[in-house]
């Protein structure tokens, strides 16, 4: 589990491609501290397992499914990536709950400066946009951000100078692909509201509805 608060910008030192998979070799002086083989490290928001660690270098296997679902296939030697170690239970929860399980990708439609911030407009599929709400949370390349606008085709976030300097987001250009992970709460609420269990003898539907959620403070 992660928070979406990027710890450092790392660098891809090598990529070994398989038929549909890859092995990444990544440099990161912060995330390799106190980490051991088997630990989870988020790379551009994708939860990967460290398979070896030597000094400030670690490797991670990327399976075919992850390559299909994320933008990791676009990486090359020298690419900069956002890195975060798994969340500690004794620390401040600065972002939101991020699992590192990417829902899909989006495409940067526009970048527009406004005073000290930069508006980033991202186009995404309806399957992703349906979970995005104004003032809700979204993880973009592993960065916990607040949604400032959303419609049926795009959503927007505003990037402050600190986020710009500590992450790779504003090094992207129009047309670039980014990894997206929706707020996990919305996906679970949808599942609870729509789930039906049917057997040969009994058909039942969840008693959870919008009124019940509202009654107990979830809406």
| pLDDT of residue 160 exceeding 80 | yes
pLDDT at 105: 98
Q: Average pLDDT for residues 136-160, to the nearest whole number?
A: 97
User: Is the fold of 8-85 the same as that of 104-186?
Assistant: yes
Residues 83, 128 contacting (CB under 8 angstroms): no
| pLDDT of residue 198 exceeding 60 | no
- Number of other residues whose CB lies within 10 A of the CB of residue 176: 16
| pLDDT of residue 141 exceeding 60 | yes
pLDDT at 91: 76
- Number of other residues whose CB lies within 10 A of the CB of residue 113: 10
- Give pLDDT tens digits for 47-93: 999 999 999 999 999 999 999 999 999 999 999 999 999 998 887 78
pLDDT at 217: 67
Residue 123: its H or E element: strand 117-123
How would residue 189 be classed by pLDDT, with cut points 50, 70 and 90? confident
pLDDT at 219: 64
pLDDT at 68: 94
Q: What CATH number should be reported for the domain whose range is 8-85?
A: 2.40.30.20
| pLDDT of residue 106 exceeding 60 | yes
Alpha-carbon distance of 80 to 74, in angstroms, equals 12
- Domains of the chain: which residue ranges? 8-85, 104-186, 187-219
Q: Average pLDDT for residues 185-192, to the nearest whole number?
A: 86
What phi-psi label fits residue 30: left (phi over 0), alpha (psi between -120 and 50 degrees) or beta?
alpha
Burial of 17 (0-12, 13-18, 19+ CB in 10 A): exposed
36 vs 197: which has the higher pLDDT: 36
For the full predicted model, state whether its pTM sits above 0.95: no
Question: Which of 1.50.40.10, 2.40.30.110, 3.40.50.1100, 2.40.30.20 is the CATH number of 104-186?
Answer: 2.40.30.20
> What's the distance, CA 149 to chain centroid?
18
Residues above pLDDT 70, as percent of the chain: 90
Alpha-carbon distance of 185 to 199, in angstroms, equals 28
């Amino acid at each position: 589990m992660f928070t979406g608060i990027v710890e450092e910008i790392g660098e891809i030192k090598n990529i070994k491609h398989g038929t549909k998979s890859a092995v990444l070799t990544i440099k990161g002086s912060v995330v390799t501290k106190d980490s051991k083989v088997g630990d989870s490290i988020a790379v551009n928001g994708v939860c990967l397992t460290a398979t070896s660690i030597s000094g400030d270098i670690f490797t991670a296997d990327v399976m075919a499914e992850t390559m299909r679902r994320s933008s990791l296939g676009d990486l090359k030697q020298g690419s900069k990536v956002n890195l975060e170690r798994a969340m500690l239970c004794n620390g401040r929860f600065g972002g939101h709950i991020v699992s590192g399980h990417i829902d899909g990708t989006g495409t940067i439609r526009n970048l527009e400066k406004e005073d000290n911030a930069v508006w980033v407009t991202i186009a995404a599929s309806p399957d992703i946009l349906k979970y995005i709400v104004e003032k809700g949370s979204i993880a973009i390349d592993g960065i916990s951000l607040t949604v400032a606008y959303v419609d049926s085709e795009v959503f927007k976030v505003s990037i402050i100078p600190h986020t710009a300097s500590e992450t790779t987001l504003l090094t992207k250009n129009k047309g670039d692909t980014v990894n997206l992970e929706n707020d996990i709460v919305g996906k679970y609420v949808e599942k609870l509201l729509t789930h039906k269990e049917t057997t040969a003898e009994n058909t039942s539907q969840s008693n959870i509805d919008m009124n019940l959620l509202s009654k107990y403070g979830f809406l």
